[in-house]
Amino acid sequence: MKVLKYLLHLLQLGLIYLVYLMDDLYKNHLGFMRNVSFYSHKVDSSAFGSKLFLLPLVLVLIALLLAIRKRGLESSILLILGAIFLIWQTIFRLETTPIYYLVSSILCLGFLLQLLIVSLKRS
């Protein structure tokens, strides 16, 4: 189990690198920039995009409940990741950050990996 936890933490560190990689790809590759812009505006105008702000709220509530139930470092990290995701969703917008939905999905994936780590922890 400890090996799996360390592997999941390494995946989370890889996700941090992925944010920088996506930003670099967006700035330097025109085809990637066009696709990201097209799909970002498509998601933004859809019904899913208008309700996306609810996702970090639900995830922070889940993290808060798990932090109360299972005290420990992993639960604290989960709560911090949920707060970062919530702050990202409320402060930044698609107009200011062109890779907004890519970073949002990476943060959500990092949260889900940490949720898996917390759920593997014994009570």
Q: Is the pLDDT at 123 greater than 60, yes or no?
A: no
Is 90 exceeded by the pLDDT of residue 58?
yes
CA pair distance 92, 69, nearest whole angstrom:
31
Tokens read off for 104: 């949002």
Q: Where do the structural domains in the chain lie, given as residue ranges? A: 2-120
pLDDT digits (tens, 9 = 90+) for 10-57: 999 999 999 999 999 999 999 999 999 999 999 988 888 888 889 999
Residue 86 CB contacts under 8 Å (≥ 6 apart), including other chains: 56, 57, 59, 60
Q: What is the pLDDT of residue 107?
A: 94
Q: What is the pLDDT of residue 53?
A: 84
d(CA 106, CA 89): 12
**Average pLDDT over the chain, rounded to an integer:** 91
- Residue 17's nearest CA partner among 114, 86, 106, 115 is 106
Q: What is the mean pLDDT of residues 63-67?
A: 91
Please compute the mean of the pLDDT values over residues 78-86 and round it to a whole number: 93
Residue 82 reports pLDDT greater than 70 = yes
